[in-house]
Amino acid sequence: MDASAQTAARSRREELISRLHLRELPGESGRFAEVSVSGIRVGTPGGPLQAHSSIFYLLDRDLPLNFLHRLESDDLHVLCEGGPVDYFLFHPDGRAEKVTLGRDLAAGQGFLVAVPGGCWKALRLHPDADHVLLANILTPQWTPDRVRIGAGTEFVERFSGAAPWATPEFLRTLIGPNWIA
């Protein structure tokens, strides 16, 4: 990317942060802003919750990693602009997969990824991308008691070798500062 394109990308990123009122997301990293919470309540095993909540979420060159975490809600991510961004998904049955959101359909990228509740996930912005803006819809709604951030030795041992990229070193990178001893 030449200097003019870098300046334009930086300007766009700053505009998104300002206009969408994005703020840093503690623990996970990246920037987010709540967009909506459904007015409909649904029953869940843990009690009633709103049917959905949604956020805008941004990764950029300053905060390129969304560290490993697990949500109880289903989490649909839709690409709004930028990218590509890799999703590293770790399923309860021991499978690990990488999904890339981006605009290059011929390269296997896509515009959305559905992350089932109970899956671990981490995101990494591609090194040549300036930013990625996502819309996330969580069903039922996100609540702070239904998220777990970070993992430790047990996670690394369980998922090491579950995919070619799932080395102990890389898994620790995805956990980042949220290592649980």
Specify the pLDDT at position 181: 86
pLDDT at 101 over 90: yes
Specify the pLDDT at position 1: 66
Specify the pLDDT at position 138: 97
Specify the pLDDT at position 119: 98
Q: Determine what percent of the chain is predicted with pLDDT higher than 70.
A: 99
Per residue in 58-77, pLDDT (tens digit) is: 999 999 999 999 999 999 99
- Counting beta carbons within 10 angstroms of the beta carbon of residue 21, is it exposed (0 to 12), middle (13 to 18) or buried (19 or more)? exposed
pLDDT at 79 over 80: yes
Query: What is the domain class of 3-147 according to CATH?
Result: mainly beta
Separation of alpha carbons 88 and 120, rounded Å: 8
Q: What is the mean pLDDT of residues 4-18?
A: 91
Q: Which pTM value belongs to this model?
A: 0.94
Q: What is the mean pLDDT of residues 4-14?
A: 88
